[in-house]
Amino acid sequence: MRIGISCWPTFGGSGVVASELGMGLAERGHEVHFITYAVPGRLNLTQPGIHYHQVSIPDYPLFEYPPHSQALASMMAEVAGESGLQLIHAHYAIPHAASALLAKAITGGRLKVVNTLHGTDITLVGRSPAFMPVVKYAIAHSDGVTAVSEFLRMEVCRTFDCDREIAVIANFVDPRDYEHLSPDPVRRRFAPGGERLLVHVSNFRPVKRIEDVVTVFLKVREQIPVKLILIGNGPELPAAVQRIRESGSVDDLHLLGNIAQVERVVAATDLMLLPSDAESFGLAALEAMACGVPVIGCRAGGLPEVIDDGLTGVLTEVGDTEAMSKAALDLLFNEERRRGMGHQARRAAFERFDRDTILDRYEALYRQVLGI
């Protein structure tokens, strides 16, 4: 098949999943065209079968805000005509699915649109009166719609009074990415004195509750030598760093920003902290599980669909930093239990969220939409 993929070219979950999906499809012999304003962080442009088309937005004085959606639709239509695309897989209802539907109309209706909903396009942006009609239209008129969790599917139906079929196709990991990961270089760099390592990975938005990450870190630090690694960037990061600095613990903090091979660092840590008050899926949690690292998270959104409480991680109520700190200390003081939980987490990640199983489901959906 000849497939177009459009996503936010960032280190967020949707961009990661879209990149990994495209590369997996190319490995299976499909022709995959990425249509974005920048190269997604994890996309390998040297891989056979992968093509990239940059969306350029003209700087015209009349436009106070760059018309990205229209430029994206134009590029989609152009690539569809030149490369014979059969469908566009849009990650996020807006702008990607909405732009893909416009491209479909421009090309005479033959181009099919698959729309994968990842979370904030429904739970945050989609609820805004400025965007809700467009999101609702994109969901209703796409040829196929998927959600990354049962929680998100139900949110779509509730928010948009939607009765159309929405397939739940989870995010995934490629087991090959987690082979032969040695923790030694990372631990020598960040825990030279044998300290324990906590890690948090996110876009540092308010929903991630970074203040809870800091609180748990400081509570754990009172009882055991520990370092905190923060991966990613976002608006809540400066305040978190300032609080740690004021506590006198800044020497135990490591900021890594956005890095491509997150698993190389996460695999060397002892626990991941993910206290979000909403996670449509929780890709960071799944990647930690694949590394054999237990996750301490919250009973929020789709995270309970990923983590089995007490078996592959620990779930607490949102904001209960006392329970999170206790869970972290219990695992850090009981290495046998921590390793056992990590082993169960790794097995669950590969058995339930294996890349090839998910690719099979997407291929089946594409063929259903295309009628082949």
Q: What is the pLDDT of residue 90?
A: 97
Superfamily of domain 2-172+354-370: Glycogen Phosphorylase B; (3.40.50.2000)
Q: Where are the domains of the chain?
A: 2-172+354-370, 176-352
pTM (2 d.p.): 0.92
Average pLDDT of the segment spanning 86-108? 96
CATH of 176-352, one of 3.40.50.720, 3.40.50.2000, 3.90.1150.10, 3.40.50.180: 3.40.50.2000
The pLDDT of residue 121: 66
pLDDT tens digits, one per residue of 161-186 = 888 899 999 999 999 999 989 999 99
Higher-confidence residue: 31 or 124? 31
12 vs 15, higher pLDDT: 15
Q: How many Cα atoms sit within 13 Å of 361 on the Cβ side?
A: 17
Task: Check whether 195 has a pLDDT greater than 80.
Answer: yes
Q: Kindly report, residue by residue over 207-262, the tens digit of the pLDDT.
A: 999 999 999 999 999 999 999 999 999 999 999 999 999 999 999 999 999 987 89
Q: Which residues, 6 or more positions from 325, have their beta carbon under 8 angstroms from its beta carbon?
A: 215, 216, 219, 220
Whether 2-172+354-370 and 176-352 share one fold: the answer is yes
Taking alpha carbons only, the member of 6, 7, 9, 11 closest to residue 205 is 11
Q: Tens of pLDDT along 39-71?
A: 998 899 999 999 999 999 888 888 888 899 999
The mean predicted confidence, pLDDT, of the chain is 94
